[in-house]
Structure 1
């Protein structure tokens, strides 16, 4: 193990975007949630079985500073990230609702416009919500409904699966470590790109998966491993970043279109090709393993990033209760 790989693992462990997910374990413990409870907490969306398939429910609340610094973009993101959560589950979104707090209607206008613009771009209707024009500051939460025929969960990765990443590199950093590939994209492309996930799921090509969230590739891989009760090796040399973005930053960046997928080895080439045909970078970046260790590898050099058995991350494995 060389200092370079070990230093990278340590830097990622300490990064705020990755450590922010640790609060989920506290909330899970307070609510008494476990990964095998109703809705499967720990997934990108809650999943409820019905006579026709599965209903999906998801929601996002936003950091007040982010909302107030760029209200229009926050509104856009409120739609975008929720739709990505539904797609990650192999689902198709059906409707959005918003919750807006603002001192008055004028200050809320850019936020509302961002919501409307994104809903129109992605072709998913905003059907109502809750609004308060007597709040002390601007803030936002957005929820989404969806449906899935063959849902993709965070709990079904198996040792021996190939770990794939599919990320749209046709974008730029907008703020913080948010890499957005949606703002200049044609609307039909946005819709077609998201539709690919449920199409692959319906063909039973995806074993497990997650939307790449604020924890980036590293944090999302850890969440997937913990939920499934497995380990993984991330092969750093196989992870491509766009436009010369340093690998360390890319590993904790939040792409507007990005998924980690565990697939059977026989399906890996077909899944990657489906994304590449839409201009989306997709490649194997590792392997799902036995155990609980997520390891970084570069050539023959390795370093432990996280062992979720020794140090729980979400504490939402289906095999263990959540701890506060």
Structure 2
């Protein structure tokens, strides 16, 4: 028997993308069924005209005010006046609105990545139509995730809890709305954990190697025994080297000097290893590497280049400090601070994944930022890596034998980035530090710093929201490498 997964069916039916198609999709016919079903009875899309929004509100009034008596004269509230609120509607083949749902930021203030869904309604005459309500819920979940939402809640009438559970929602606790029993439900968005998941294999893989030496296990760089030298090494994704060679060259320097900067080390030189199909391609990679080398004032001391091979690039950086700042120097009770360069924009072709704040900075600005940790000398520091802000904080906490809380309302963030993107992207220049309360922050030139959390007993990373709720972002260690 041939089966389609739910996600494939949703995509074919236009639910997951919530865009109404100009033609019906006959799923049984696509599967070769001898008894095709009639065309689908509804489509789902965003209500981007006043008529659709008005029809949706009239449905709400009929159901919630007139039929159920949940509200007095009107069920409208401040969310309906918030321009950020999104309304999704279901339409029948004639274009009439037969259901809808709204979603948007939960609080009347800056969008912290916490949204709420609500006012899910299906026209009384259409409640027998299969799938209208569930399809609206799925469309709302998909829209929330694409909008960069990190926490998505809904107050659901208690009698509908089982429907939401079947759709994958999780029960949080009972609540009351207008004195009627409801249940607070939460859609599980695993984006933060997914960004950090790539680090999970490191502990078992590297077990037995004395990486970094005692006190520096899992650090951004490794102190070289017998002196003040610190070494760091990073490889660039081969697909990125192939797709954007100049940018790959720039980033190979960027990530390495950031690693040294997190340890308070001043960079003194670079070594590169480059694989390329020919000299012309290699020249494009090296052009970006040389530009970054000049901008940061770090010479390329040597390396290795090979032609006739797939694209590959790795760089080793050397720096000096007599007293490296460890990534595992944090302790419960210390305050967490994020210092990040919020200028710039998404790198073209990498929207939501790579924030480019460095390529337009002056050499003086870049050098001020990478010298900030060495000047301030916090108890612990890590530069934000591909594990994202929460994942990197999880690594700092793991190395420090503790847990962490990240305050979502105090996290510095560019205006052009959603919270979901910002928490999981590579941010250009961003340092997480931990230190005693009232310790001065980093003086990092154009970068913005703010205290946005604390280290705690336990393990993992939790997110603190404006309503005081704590949600789990990471349940335990990120790398499995253990304490530093």
Cα deviations across residues 155-184 of structure 1 (Å, max 9, x unaligned)? 110111000000000111114311111111
Q: With the length of structure 2 as denominator, give the TM-score of the two structures.
A: 0.59
Question: Out of 199, 206, 225, which is 1:21 matched to?
Answer: 199
The question of whether the paired residues in 1 share the 8 Å contact of 2:240 and 2:248 is answered with yes
Question: Out of 78, 87, 90, which is 2:264 matched to?
Answer: 90
The question of whether the paired residues in 1 share the 8 Å contact of 2:249 and 2:287 is answered with yes
- Are positions 1:246 and 2:423 aligned together? no
Matches of 1:92 and 1:225, distance apart in 2: 25
- Are positions 1:146 and 2:319 aligned together? yes
Structure with more helix by fraction: 1
Q: State the Cα RMSD in Å.
A: 2.1
Counterparts of 1:130-209 in structure 2, within 5 Å, are 130-135=304-309, 137-174=310-347, 175-176=349-350, 177-201=353-377, 206-209=378-381
Counterparts of 1:38-49 in structure 2, within 5 Å, are 40-49=216-225
**Secondary structure, counterpart of 1:76 in structure 2:** helix
Matches of 1:39 and 1:288, distance apart in 2: 18
Question: Out of 397, 403, 410, which is 1:231 matched to?
Answer: 403
Hey, what does 1:301 align to over in structure 2? 469
The question of whether the paired residues in 2 share the 8 Å contact of 1:35 and 1:316 is answered with no
**Secondary structure, counterpart of 2:201 in structure 1:** helix
Seen in structure 2, the aligned counterparts of structure 1 residues 34 and 291 have a Cα distance that, compared at 3 Å, is: farther
**Secondary structure, counterpart of 1:238 in structure 2:** coil
Matches of 2:264 and 2:428, distance apart in 1: 17
Matches of 1:35 and 1:283, distance apart in 2: 31
Matches of 1:40 and 1:242, distance apart in 2: 31
Larger gyration radius, structure 1 or structure 2:
2
- Are positions 1:271 and 2:449 aligned together? no
Seen in structure 2, the aligned counterparts of structure 1 residues 127 and 34 have a Cα distance that, compared at 3 Å, is: closer
Q: With the length of structure 1 as denominator, give the TM-score of the two structures.
A: 0.87
- Are positions 1:4 and 2:152 aligned together? yes
Cα deviations across residues 51-91 of structure 1 (Å, max 9, x unaligned)? 5xx32111111111110000000001011110000000011
